[in-house]
Structure 1
Amino acid sequence: MDLQKFVDSYVTMSCIISVRTFPDGHYGDIRLVCANKAYIDTIEDPENIAYSEMLNNKFVPDSPYEIYIPKDLNFEDACYRCAVLKKPFHTYIHPERYNFWLDTYIMPLTFDEGDRHYCIYSQEITPCASTRRMSNLDAGVAESVLQTCIKLHDGSDFNQTMDEIVKDLCKQCEADKVCLILTDMKERTFSILSEAAGSPIADYSVEDYLRSRYEDFFDIIETWDQAIAGSTCLIIQNERDMEVLYERDPVWAASMQEVDVHTIVLFPLVYNHETLGYIWAINFKAENTMRIRALLELATFFIASEIANQKLLDQMKMMSWSDMLTGVNNRNAMNLRVDSIVNGEEELPDETAVIYTDINGLKQVNDNGGHADGDRMLKKAANILKDVFPDGDIYRAGGDEFMVLVTGVPEHIIEERIEKLKVYRSDKADVSFSVGYFCSCGKTDIRHAMTMADKRMYDDKQRYYQDHPYRKRR
């Protein structure tokens, strides 16, 4: 069979790929046997969108594919299934190593030569995501992704919705465990947003395990991009794949085998070129690999979008509730909290304390040193309040005045903390507080408590300025 003549008959960029099988059942030595001009242009033409992404810009027939792209287990598995098992393959993906999307079709050829098996690989490149191409899915996968989208749209409770989706994915993947982990690459932190167990042995807290097992699990997370190696995901489905992972990420590979993980699929959750987290499924059925990959490739696209939207909402809420200068809650947050208590939406415990504080001499600081000095004093005052009332909700009520709401703390402890604040009343202290507080033991009338604490603070301030008339506000 004239393979070159055959591939030249294709209009779309195409190449013939060979996969070699070995007596022990493994496969490898995957080669680009020949290609049509459209495909060769992706490698050799500087004007082609793919040119700059290639490791080598000269096409040599019958060359190992790794000459042009990094070793990719997902690509190898697709070629094996098509060339050797004679199963057609289609996907529409955006590998992280490229700045474009690939619409890929791999079709088996009946032409084989001994231990070499052949398929034809065709692709189209799109500079951005095409919804039409993304929706071209297997009916079963499409139904599952549609259900995910409906739940994301209709869910009023974000965390509950994510729990339902992860539970569904665990069932569809037939996995021991599916986990959705959020990451903050700048702060080097992580948290488990949701998890689901498919077997009793996997019914444990992932976050508790990771924090007890590792001194800093983020050290492992930082290696995941290297393990994925520019592909859309990492799929480990047999011992051969695990050997490759050992080469890329030996610490993580060893840790998985310690807890009897034989198969794993790991997808990054990427939105607007930012990695928001990852979703993984462990010990899934290897025969379901292609369906799991197709399902998660699209499902993670929508999940990442919803997480990004939720982060934006949280940021907007923080901006509307947080005092941007000091980082404590603002007056709007205080009013909303009081309203929720008054309306019966929140019931305060029997032991509740309201503390009002005011910074002495701020006007003098602003007049003498400027508002920058005044801002520094306000920030320091807020930090002192956070230190003295670590279990309290702190609000900047306005100007130089703060309110603290503490619940579940006995009155004698509150009094000790008030005395700690009054240590800052000396002439040498650069932050000085006037303080008033009200403690209740029983049902709390929040407005009465606030009024009493405010009045006592005002009386305390009057005494302070009587003792320090030179710091009195003009």
Structure 2
Amino acid sequence: MKKEELQKFVDSFHTMTSILSVENTSDGSIGTIRIEAGNELYVKSMERKDGDGNSVFSQKFIPGSNYEMYMEKELNFEKFCYQSAILKKPVHAYIQPERFPFWINLFMLPVEVDDTEKGYCSYSLEVTPEADLETMTRLSAEISSNVLKACIKLRGTKNFLKTMDEVIEDIRELCGAETCCVLRTDFRERSCFVLGSATKPNTYVQNIHKVISNKFVDYAESWIETLKGSNCLIIQNDADMEIIRERNPAWYASLTGAKVKSLVLLPLMHNEEFIGFIWATNFDTSNVLRIKETLELVTFFIASEVASYLLLQQLEVLSNVDLLTGVKNRNAMNNQVYQLVNGIVQYKTISVVFADLNGLKPVNDNEGHNAGDALLKRASQILKETFTDCEVYRAGGDEFVVVALDRPRADLEARVEKLRQKSKEKGNVSFALGFFHDENGGDVRKAMHEADVLMYEDKKLHYAHKR
């Protein structure tokens, strides 16, 4: 086909279609990409503004111009163009650009044009406001099998974190990568932690769990800007790495310092919110498109499972933790009593401390409930610091219970006595305390009753001295 025939060629399509060219380079890097021609449907759709005044093209279309004149540089788009125009391979992808409220079903096919300096391909696409599940699941048998395997593992697990490690190992092998990791990020709480990781055997890399701390969340947040709205970032050569150096110098320094030569990074999204990232380093760059397509769909399901796991974690906290003080609540205490009584948890000795906070009512009456809440928080913090190796519960109101299994009696008695003496000092948080220890692994209910009785005796003494 001759170059002057390109416009007539795209006009024959009944879908949004353009012709793209990619300059040939001697080093195999991706040369300049130009939009050589576009049919009316394509041009009008790219230039049309939405309700917020946004459009794909930032200015009027001029045939033969560098695509970066109209939209931000997009690494994945460039790789698609290179695969089709230079390597002469058909390309199909189904994507949802994060910066646009629609899904794109795109097709690229190599086109023979009389031009020795460039390769050409057609670029046809259809745009929908919502995801088409039928299109998303129209995959090869190999990709479908890999995705289904991950879904079944995660859906049927009773140990989410252990299974996540297994799934991440499967993904690492699929990518032929040195390392693979899924990271949970919470940008509101400024926290992050590893949900699963895998490393190729006999590969020396730093333990990811030692690298990741809550400070890493600032690092992860910079990836959002680096992604530039894309749902996937692929670095497969030095040219790509140079783009990272320009966009994110600190990350570039970290990657090169860790001897990362290739990387695929995808965000985990749920309800239009970033909940984490998944990445693979030093992967098999000869299968970029297959890896990208597989990971995009696997990540879709992983994000859903991670969101479900986080919700269950939150529900567990709500059902077992006292939200005011941060210690475990009465429900959690009842659950432990059930496990101890029914032999689910085995023990040789049992100790119980009842700690009733003195003076809460006068503080509430005279200074207000905010002051009372502050007193409860201080009391719980003292108990947690005193009994670091025991379970501390807020049984209700101003009453706390400490349960210790297989701890030496003398050690616990010393802690209780130290707490009792501090309670007598003016200005300190004051507790009425009852301690009971059973050396023969008796019934926890009896131990709690005896400690409660002793606590009330201590409370009587406290108020008798105040008269």
Query: Which TM-score applies when normalising by structure 1?
Result: 0.91
SS at 1:175's partner residue? coil
The one-letter amino acid paired with 1:290 is L
Give how far 1:408 is off.
6.0
| 1:330 partner letter | N
- Residue 223 of structure 1 aligns to a residue whose secondary structure is helix
1:385 corresponds to which of 383, 386, 390: 383
Q: Which runs of 5+ in 1 are unaligned?
A: 470-474
Task: Write out per-residue CA displacement over residues 380-426 of structure 1, whole angstroms, 9 at most, x where no aligned residue.
Answer: 32222223333332211112101122456544443343244335534
- Quick check: 1:15 aligned with 2:18? yes
- Residue 408 to residue 71, structure 1, CA distance change in 2 (3 Å): farther
Residue of structure 2 in register with 1:107 after alignment: 109
2:239 equivalent in structure 1: 240
Contact 1:176 1:202 in 2 (8 A): no
Aligned mates of 2:424, 2:441 — CA distance in 1: 37
Aligned residue in 1 for 2:254: 255
Moved more, 431-440 or 458-467: 431-440
CA contact (8 A) 2:47 2:55 kept: no
Write the deviation string for residues 158-213 of structure 1: whole angstroms up to 9, x where unpaired.
123212211211111111111111112122222111111223115763112456xx
Matched residue, 2:274: 275
Distance 2:212 2:328 in 1: 32
Structure-2 residue corresponding to 1:34: 37
1:3 aligns with one of 6, 18, 25: 6
User: For the Cα contact (< 8 Å) 2:350–2:444, is it kept in 1?
Assistant: no
**Aligned equivalents of 2:315 and 2:429: distance in 1?**
31
* SS of residue in 2 equivalent to 1:284: coil
| Secondary structure of residue in 1 paired with 2:464 | helix
User: Per-residue displacement from partner, 1:295-343 (whole Å, max 9, x unpaired)?
Assistant: 1000000000011011111111211112232222111110001111222
Of residues 59-68 and 114-123 in structure 1, the stretch that sits farther from structure 2 once superposed is 59-68
2-side partners of 1:59 and 1:391: how far apart? 69
Residue 440 and residue 208 in structure 1: after superposition, are their counterparts in 2 closer, same or farther (change >3 A)?
A: farther
Q: How does 1:444-459 map to 2 (within 5 A)?
A: 445-459=443-457
Q: Which residue of 2 aligns with 1:129?
A: 131
For 2:99 and 2:62, locate their aligned partners in 1 and report how far apart those are by CA, in whole Å: 22
- Following superposition, the deviation at residue 117 of structure 1 comes to 0.9
Is the alpha carbon distance of 1:407 and 1:415 closer, same or farther for their aligned partners in structure 2, counting shifts above 3 Å? same
Q: 1:10 to 1:28 in 2, by over 3 A?
A: same
What amino acid maps onto 2:136 in structure 1? M
* Contact persistence 1:102–1:125 (CA under 8 A): yes
Contact residue 47 and residue 57 of structure 2 kept, 8 A: no
Distance 1:442 1:247 in 2: 68
Structure 2: unaligned runs, 5 residues or longer: none
Equivalent residues in 2 for 1:121-200 (5 A)? 121-200=123-202
Whole-Å separation in 2 of the counterparts to 1:279 and 1:266: 6
Helix, strand or coil at the partner of 1:27? coil
Query: TM-score w.r.t. structure 2 length?
Result: 0.93
5 Å-filtered alignment, 1:385-404, equals: 385-404=383-402
Q: What amino acid sits opposite 1:37 in the alignment? A: E
Match of 1:87 among 69, 77, 89: 89
**Identical positions, percent:** 44
Per-residue deviation, 1:104: 1.2
- 1:312 and 1:210 mapped to 2: Cα distance? 22
Q: How does 1:347-358 map to 2 (within 5 A)?
A: 347-348=346-347, 350=348, 352-358=350-356
* TM-fit CA distance, 1:28: 1.6
Structure 1 368/455 Cα, relative in aligned 2: closer, same or farther at 3 Å?
A: same
Over 3 Å counting, the alpha-carbon distance change for 1:429 and 1:64 in structure 2 is same
Distance 1:447 1:184, change over 3 A: same
- Would you say 1:297 and 2:299 are equivalent positions? no
Per-residue CA deviations over 1:97-117 (Å, capped at 9, x if unaligned) read 222211111111122511211
Q: Contact between 2:22 and 2:120, CA under 8 Å: does it hold in 1?
A: yes
Superimposed CA distance per residue, residues 411-451 of structure 1 (whole angstroms, 9 cap, x where no aligned partner): 44433432443355347436321111234556354223222
**Aligned AA for 2:162?**
Q
- Of 78-87 and 30-39, the range deviating more from structure 2: 30-39
Deviates more, 1:278-287 or 1:200-209: 200-209
Change (3 A) 1:433 1:132: same
Partner residue, 2:330: 331
Residue in 1 that maps onto 2:359: 361
Contact 1:15 1:36 in 2 (8 A): yes
Give distance in 2, aligned partners of 1:217 and 1:362: 41
| Partner Cα separation in structure 1 for residue 440 and residue 178 of structure 2 | 49
Partner letter of residue 304 of structure 1?
A
**Number of aligned positions between the proteins:** 464
Q: Secondary structure at the match of 2:267?
A: strand
Distance 1:131 1:98 in 2: 19
Q: 1:44 to 1:426 in 2, by over 3 A?
A: same
Structure 2 CA distance for partners of 1:444 and 1:13, relative to 1, 3 Å: farther
Residue 62 (structure 2) pairs with residue 60 (structure 1): yes
